[in-house]
Structure 1
Amino acid sequence: MSGASCSSSSDRRGQNPSSSVGLSAEFSGAGEEDCAAAARSWCDEGKLLIPGLPNDLAILCIARLPRGMFPLLRLVSSAWKRAVSSETFRLLRHQGGFLQGWIYVLVESATGAAFRAFDPDANRWYNMSPVPANISSETWQGFACVALDSKLILMGGARRIYNEATQQLGQVEVCGDVFIYDAFRNKWQRGPSLTTPRGWFAAAAIGDFVYVAGGQGRSCFLDSAEVLDYREKRWHQMPSMHCVRSSCRGTVLNGQFWVIAGEVVINNYGDHPQRASAEFFNPASKSWTLIPEMWLDSHKVALARSQNLLVVHQSKLMRYDPELNEWDHIGHISTGKLYNRSSYRFGFALECLGDKLYVIGGRIESWQNRNRSSIQPVSTAEVCHLGTASNSKFTRWNSVADMKDSSGIILASATVLL
């Protein structure tokens, strides 16, 4: 294990194994006293996490280990289990820059756990803990999925509600339910319900806040919006949008919550717009700004957020220029597994992680002739380096680990850091 914080302890013999010996600058934000106190609580008296190292230094070494090893680390001893499961451990990974992003996807047809998690560093897929039993076997549509630090949050949608009295599934109903997956503890729990039940709406997370807007309510389409203060575990009403929107898309750009397309009433902001509008919410001014004719005229697009807003439009990789309200063509989807003249891939996940863009799952529609086609589910995943997308408009795609027993349309996706 590398790093100055894991240096030799030969000059510290005779010290209490849990005593604080001074943290390196990169971890100073965690607090020396907090780290030392936590180290004392993790270990039985006189026992070391790593022989030869004070426990507050040992935990810094453990914090550098890959995320995929966490289940094994918890099996080493009861002290290691307490250490790796502590909030201080998570904070140390954050402060030290050791967070790793995993891509979580919900596949329309999957064997075992419906959600899968992809570890890019190990090039491996993992099954997640099942969604709570009362929704795992239901038809659930129109929900939103966002990532907030190490949390995966599912909200709203339309599903069959389980009737405890009859022990049967009832009619499909738009709901305000919220389920939160804690990747750190590998557990699901219920969160505070939406103030307004809604489905097919936009959602995104900024800091400790989750924003939702638009969608379909129980009796009408919506222009309303609300925000979850995750620390308070409370929803608060927001100003309504300019347009009533459903089946809209949400993302974050320049620290603002963007709601894209989905207008229920078209042409209410211009004479003959050729593209759908968008609007963004500024948390500082608490106001919405309308962007006419922003969205590409296509029903089969995918959305990703890195430092830019990206879409796959037909066979082109496009990047949004917010200053000019234009889309720049920066690359192509490769032929073969993704696109070629006789096949078309749709319903896939598009996720950014650093400078890499991942395309996962979906379906491929292949044409045998002008009047005959077939649709096949896809379990493959591909990645490209966004740095290679240049004026040449050439993007090289490489295959990564296959989902194997999970294939088809990706109902939700998000990147969770831990």
Structure 2
Amino acid sequence: MDRRRMIQPPLVDSTACLCRVDAGLKTVAGAKKYVPGARLCLQPDIKASIHPTRSKPARGESSRNQSPLLPGLPDDLAIACLIRVPRVEHRKLRLVCKRWYRLLAGNFFYTLRKSIGIAEEWIYLIKRDREGKISWHAFDPVYQLWQSLPPVPKEYSEALGFGCAVLSGCHLYLFGGKDPLKGSMRRVIFYSARTNKWHRAPDMLRRRHFFGSCVINNCLYVAGGENEGVHRSLRSAEVYDPNKNRWSFISDMSTAMVPFIGVVYEGKWFLKGLGSHRQVLSEVYQPENDSWYSVYDGMVAGWKNPSASLNGHLYALECKDGCKLRVYDETTDSWSKHIDSKIHLGNSRALEAASLVPLNGKLCIIRNNMSISLVDVTKSNDAGGASAEHLWETLAGKGQFRTLVTNLWSSLAGRNRLKSHIVHCQVLQA
């Protein structure tokens, strides 16, 4: 037999964090014996869930008396099988038994999926309906199915101007914003794609809404915005480090600003917004030396929202329906390059492109009617103008949209489908 065919992906990541290994797993309990170099977890335990949960039962009999995860297989081989089950079925796996639930509720299971390259990315949409209510939904691009999610906690059910970002690839954070009754907030919560639950995180240092935010080196940066206090527009900025589980101030911005667009490009954070006198301002932040400075080059001058950076290139949408992309050319300091689908949908609010995010190495365009398109920008340099439309792919289009989520959409937006719009869009991996 060809030995190359016998090579399989590693069953266990030798650098994985072992702090969440279930002691009840027969061979995993002695993980150090067959996982050389395994490290202890240096990060604090995940915070308690916002939603009440049952207390953990006391461990009874020794692990050797427990039944195997899969009858007839050692637990390490059973885990090797279970981690290959598609993500869309994980909710069902948790219902099989307590041991499967504990396995899929910990970091160990998903660390293995990521280490062998089978972790899946889903799209998460946060929408506001015509009554101002916030809801959210997840889309599986592999099976092209919409997934139900636990409700957004009540403090964000009607909030305005709050931030949204992803840390560690699987934690979606909501932070700040303006409560209709209580005003500006410091609140921070996050959803874990691994546990499918909401959790609390430390509050920000300043109350703010309609601010800018970004993630650099897995740290969450927040700057500017508004506060209902004496100084309405803010110059202050802060950063959250999940490893230290705390917020810290960074240098203030050059001028107070309410950002309306931001992006991380070449390791720098670019922001564009309105100053105290409603003038357009542009600033860039460099984390290396903790400094801000104004910028007025061709990139900022022609910069539009939504925008995203991927593989060292900066992209922005050219038209309202997002069927044409612009590419920033650093050599000419201009937005002269274009990637056109050649099929334009229209200028209605429902068809307006609300977000542009990277997904599985491609750019994903999400519109207010929940239609989704993918653009393979990696091949754009090889495609001429006439064939550029072949780079585009529809994941959830007009026809698919009707068949997949007609009932869901009707219940969300009622008869008038044009009143709902997407507030935030992120990609989580698990």
Alignment of 1:19-418 (within 5 A): 27-30=13-16, 37=23, 39-40=25-26, 45-109=65-129, 114-136=135-157, 138=158, 140-148=159-167, 149-160=169-180, 170=181, 173-219=183-229, 220-256=232-268, 258-264=269-275, 278-293=282-297, 294-296=299-301, 301-307=305-311, 308-314=313-319, 316-322=324-330, 325-337=333-345, 339=346, 345-346=351-352, 348-362=354-368, 378-390=369-381, 392-393=384-385, 394-396=388-390, 397-401=392-396, 402=401, 403-404=405-406, 405=409, 408-418=420-430
Change (3 A) 1:237 1:3: farther
1:113–1:129 contact (8 Å) kept in structure 2: no
* C-alpha distance in structure 1 between counterparts of 2:349 and 2:291, whole Å: 43
Change (3 A) 1:54 1:192: same
What is the deviation of 1:110? 8.7
Change (3 A) 1:280 1:52: farther
Q: Deviations over 1:313-358 (max 9, x none)?
A: 2363112345654324231254343x47x99943522222133222
Q: Deviations over 1:2-32 (max 9, x none)?
A: 98558xxxxxxxxxxxxxxxx65x7221279
| Letter matched to residue 68 of structure 2 | L
For structure 2, the 5+ residue unaligned runs are 30-58
| Letter matched to residue 260 of structure 1 | L
| Letter matched to residue 25 of structure 2 | A
1:113–1:128 contact (8 Å) kept in structure 2: no
Q: Deviations over 1:278-317 (max 9, x none)?
A: 433332322234321433557x731223223211023631
Secondary structure of 2:244's counterpart equals coil
Over the matched positions of the two proteins, sequence identity in percent amounts to: 28
2:106–2:195 contact (8 Å) kept in structure 1: no
Change (3 A) 1:34 1:216: closer
Change (3 A) 1:354 1:289: farther
1:225–1:239 contact (8 Å) kept in structure 2: yes
* C-alpha distance in structure 2 between counterparts of 1:395 and 1:230, whole Å: 41
Secondary structure of 1:176's counterpart equals coil
* C-alpha distance in structure 1 between counterparts of 2:102 and 2:130, whole Å: 33
- What is the root-mean-square deviation of aligned Cα atoms in Å? 3.3
Change (3 A) 1:35 1:199: closer
Give TM-score scaled by structure 2 length: 0.74
Change (3 A) 1:196 1:113: closer
For structure 1, the 5+ residue unaligned runs are 7-22, 161-169, 269-275, 363-377
Q: Deviations over 1:235-284 (max 9, x none)?
A: 1000012232213333322333x13210416899xxxxxxx664333323
* C-alpha distance in structure 2 between counterparts of 1:292 and 1:282, whole Å: 16
Q: Comparing both structures, which one devotes a greater share of its residues to strand?
A: 1
Report the equivalent of 2:53. none
* C-alpha distance in structure 2 between counterparts of 1:227 and 1:38, whole Å: 39
Count of residues paired in the alignment: 362
Report the equivalent of 1:166. none
What is the deviation of 1:143? 1.0
2:224–2:235 contact (8 Å) kept in structure 1: yes
1:384–1:395 contact (8 Å) kept in structure 2: no
Change (3 A) 1:35 1:102: same
| Letter matched to residue 272 of structure 2 | A
Change (3 A) 1:243 1:321: farther
